[in-house]
Amino acid sequence: MNIYDIAREAGVSITTVSRVLNQSPNIRQETRQKVQAVLEKYHYSPSPIARGLVKRSMNAVGILSIDIRGIHYSQTAYAIEQELHRLGYRCQLYNTGREPEQQRQYLEMIADNLLDGIILIGSTFQTPAFEQLLKQYLPGCLPVLFVNGSFPLPNVYSILSDDHRGIFQCVEQFIARGRRHILFVRDNNTDSALRKERGYRDAMTSHGLTPLIIEGEDSINGGANATRRALELCPQAETIFYGTDRAAVGGIQALQQLQIPVPAQVELIGFNNSQLCEVTCPALSSLDNHLDQMGLQVAQILHRLLQGEEAKKISICTPVLAERESTRRH
């Protein structure tokens, strides 16, 4: 069943059918209804492929993350899909992994002009290698929206969470509460991790306190190990910040094993305000970087760009403490 069949059955030309399909205004009520009737009779819906061929667009956008199983990635992807669907786009999902070669393969596949735009989720993409791939594979000015990262390329737009400021302000909050022995467990070497670390460091030094940063990994075990080391280095620790919720979960487990009461003796603060925060016992306080809103925004910005409108190259939102039991002393 194609547009010709409909046209024949309705006794009009295919152009007319196309017109009612696309809500063209220049059409007589009578004709429109006649066509509508046939359309509905056959539950006809036009081929997006044929339309795509002539419009040079499939209204499709690619969502890339290294691994959608990452809890905050899936949360962001969800928000993006919901909004993009509302706006009439289809979302393609790509889990690129961390390997440059695999990432290259994905970009090569994506470079075939099927997509109208691309959304990168996660600062893990912010590597020179990936920037190179982007330059190499992405046809001209296909818009790329980067959640939590940025590249100095003309077609790349960023939504950043101001991790530095978020941590800075939050550390200040705890200093105001009278804490002095505040530590920071940093995870990987992503750009985002560095910004967090600096936020912590700056807040501490600007209040005349000595920062203490412990190397860790973004994993439960990594967080647990780092926490144990932290307490050896600084047994008087009162408050520990972590670069991710996952690492903070490890922290809670480590403290529990050491029989150190949380939050009575040590308070913990994660980052991302993900589902994990409700899972731990006590529930984990965390810096909320508004993944839902970032997802929403990124979808809307992309939509605007695709409509030919302008958009800011960088949008920023500041994380805010979502407080739960792990920092609530009674």
Residue 26 interface partner, choices DNA, its own copies, none, CB cut-off 5-8 Å depending on type: DNA
Pick the binder of its own copies from 141, 275, 312, 313 (CB under 8 A). Answer: 275
d(CA 197, CA 244): 12
- Residues 278-297 close enough to bind its own copies by CB under 8 A: 278-281
| 232 touches its own copies (CB under 8 A) | no
Contact 157, 303 (CB under 8 A): no
CB-nearer residue toward its own copies: 60 or 213: 60
d(CA 30, CA 15): 16
Residue 75 interface partner, choices its own copies, DNA, none, CB cut-off 5-8 Å depending on type: its own copies
| 46 touches its own copies (CB under 8 A) | yes
Window 204-223: contact mask with its own copies (x via CB under 8 A): ----------------x---
Pick the piece of the chain touching its own copies (CB under 8 A) from 78-86, 169-177, 180-188, 230-238.
Answer: 78-86
Give Cα separations from 176 to 21, 182, 207 (angstroms): 62, 12, 10
| 14 touches its own copies (CB under 8 A) | no
Pick the binder of its own copies from 14, 27, 111, 260 (CB under 8 A). Answer: 111
d(CA 245, CA 325): 14
Q: β-strand 267-271 against 285-288: which pairing, if any? A: parallel
CB-nearer residue toward DNA: 42 or 85: 42
Closest separation between CB of residue 324 and its own copies, Å? 13
Q: β-strand 320-322 against 285-288: which pairing, if any? A: antiparallel
Pick the binder of its own copies from 34, 87, 106, 127 (CB under 8 A). Answer: 106
Binding site for DNA (CB under 7 A): 2-4, 11-16, 18-19, 21-22, 25-28, 30-32, 46-47, 50-51, 53-56
Give Cα separations from 179 to 49, 166, 186, 259 (angstroms): 61, 18, 19, 21
Cα dihedral 78/81/83/85 (nearest 10): -140
Pick the piece of the chain touching its own copies (CB under 8 A) from 66-74, 121-129, 151-159, 160-168.
Answer: 66-74
Using a 10 angstrom Cβ sphere, with 0-12 exposed, 13-18 middle and 19 or more buried, the burial of residue 320 is middle
Residue 2 interface partner, choices its own copies, DNA, none, CB cut-off 5-8 Å depending on type: DNA
Beta carbons within 10 angstroms of residue 323's beta carbon: 16
| 113 touches its own copies (CB under 8 A) | yes
User: b or e along 210-234 (b: 16 or more beta carbons within 10 Å of the residue's beta carbon)?
Assistant: ebbbbebbbbbebbbbbbbebbeeb
159, 103, 158, 96: which is closest to 136 by C-alpha?
103
Residue whose pair of structure tokens reads 């190990």 in the numeric block: 225
CB-nearer residue toward its own copies: 96 or 158: 96
| 244 touches its own copies (CB under 8 A) | no
Pick the binder of its own copies from 30, 101, 112, 232 (CB under 8 A). Answer: 112
Pick the binder of its own copies from 58, 237, 266, 301 (CB under 8 A). Answer: 58
Q: For residue 282, is the peptide bond before it cis, meaning its omega torsion is within 30 degrees of 0?
A: yes
Pick the piece of the chain touching its own copies (CB under 8 A) from 71-79, 194-202, 210-218, 301-309.
Answer: 71-79
